[in-house]
A and B are shown apart, each in its own frame.
Chain A
Amino acid sequence: MPPSRCPEGGLRREVESAMVKDYVRDALVPLYPRLRRFAASLAGSVVEGDDLVQRACERALSRTSQWQPGTRLDSWLYRIIQNTWNDERRSIKARNQAPIEDARDLVGDDGERRVVARLTLDTVYRELCNLSEEQRSVLTLVCVDGFSYREVAEILGIPVGTVMSRIARGRLILADRVEKANACSADNILKLR
């Protein structure tokens, strides 16, 4: 015999769903900087990353019932950004990406620039942008956001082993390029003198 319908349960679910949606909406604003950073690492530019964040967040807000309260909301949102990006990439395969703008030119933080020379940070960011999309996203998630390999694998929908190889290779490539770029800069400065 099938269970009888329970209107109270249905209403409760509806209410809980509305409350979860409100919660997600409220949580989005403080998460935006990180979501924008991740989206920029995927899309190849801050502006396109913002477009991606917007579409992903619209998608997230229409699917809040799929988020399980008690689990990490940021991971869930990152996954949606990644999935949204995958969907769009399939439909616009041949798109030529514009180079990523220097996000530090959009907003400054003098306090941090005092800690590390701006020139070096600019170089690091520029060289990050020159890495492949796969390496950019993994490096951002692991080194910057601090996600574990397993979490990154879930977000990106790839095996943990792939995360490990990408992070190792991407980080050493980045180190090489930054060192070379800094060496060139130093040479140029000496020549000017």
Chain B
Amino acid sequence: MNQRIDDIMLAAYVDGELNPHQLREIEQALAHDAEARLKVRRMREVSGLLRAACAESHFQDIPDRLVELVHRRPRRKIRSWAKWAIAAILLMAAYMGTAFLLETRRDSEANAATEDLQAMMEEIAEYHLVYARQGEHLAEIAADRRGEIEAWFGSLMNRRLRIPDLSAQNLTFAGARLLVLEGNPAAQLFYSRDQGEPIAVCVTFGTPEKIPLNIARHRGLSVGLWSDDGYLHVVVGALTEEDVRQIAGVVDKTLWTL
């Protein structure tokens, strides 16, 4: 056999690893070398047998422990909604220059949520540090970058969104901020008004269950939360219950309408 056409070159030929020049050279040599042709045939046969013997179908019986591994996702349960409201309230409080601690409405999972609550406090504290760096700026992204905000948040939420027009409620879009809660992106839209402090509309990933609008008072602020189609929505601000209902109605109808 030609010195250059050794087993390594033959294997590379079988595996399609040769460049055109090497390929021509090997094929010319094979035409005159029965031993090399036999080796090529054996290599191809054993490759085919290996593929059959090691087919993916033989390894499809995935152990439960491996399946469970990928299901250990950050929880997106109802407890996180309370966190959301608290986060939003804290943001508003920070904006108004008021420092206060939080009080949460404890749901039926309150005991189990104690650890989560601590983690949430930590998380909110982290965000508060971020906000504190913004000085007097309400939003990170100004309202005049509306198109960019919609595109960016839409990509983060895996769904096209449109910043709701709340002019009928005497609210003017003032900008946006990105939050991260439990590893999920959370879009926060700010609206200013002639009288009163700004309000915020927030959206993040929720649970598949549909939850109707739920309005509660916290430290003088109204917080409205509802979940639909896998997304959690929050309206927060110094608003009447009727204000929250109207704003929530517009947001619910127009946020995802594109």
Contacts and interface: CB of A to CB of B under 8 A. Distances in A.
A142 B69 contact: no
Interface stretch (A66-74, A82-90, A91-99, A160-168): A160-168
A54 B42 CA distance: 36
Chain B: number of interface residues, binned into ranges = 35 or more
Interface string B42-76: 11011101111111111111110111011001000
B54 A171 contact: no
B52 A50 contact: no
Given A32-B62, A37-B54, A139-B50, A21 B8 contact: no
B134 interface: yes
User: Dominant SS at the B interface?
Assistant: helix
A130 interface: no
A143 B140 contact: no
Contact of B49 (A54, A106, A120, A169): A120
B18 to A, nearest CB: 11
Given A7-B130, A28-B69, A142 B178 contact: no
Interface of A: 5, 7-8, 10-12, 14-15, 18-19, 21-22, 25-26, 28-29, 32-34, 36-37, 40, 46, 50, 53-54, 57-58, 61, 103-104, 106-107, 109, 112, 115-116, 120-122, 124-125, 128, 139-140, 142-144, 148-149, 164-165, 167-169, 171-172, 174-175, 178
B66 A116 contact: no
A31 B42 CA distance: 30
Contacts of A61: 69
Contacts of A11: 130, 178-180
B58 A103 contact: yes
B133 interface: yes
B46 A124 contact: yes
B49 A57 contact: no
Interface in B9-31: 10-12, 14-15, 17
Given A11-B179, A168-B8, A178-B49, A106 B66 contact: no
Contacts of B15: 142-143, 149, 167
Nearest to B134: A7
B59 A143 contact: no
B50 A128 contact: yes
29 contacts: A7-B140, A8-B178, A11-B180, A12-B178, A15-B185, A26-B70, A28-B69, A53-B66, A54-B69, A104-B53, A104-B58, A107-B61, A121-B53, A125-B53, A143-B47, A143-B50, A143-B51, A167-B11, A168-B7, A168-B11, A171-B11, A171-B14, A172-B7, A172-B39, A172-B43, A175-B43, A175-B45, A175-B46, A178-B49
Contact of B46 (A33, A104, A178): A178
Contacts of A18: 180, 183-185
A87 to B, nearest CB: 19
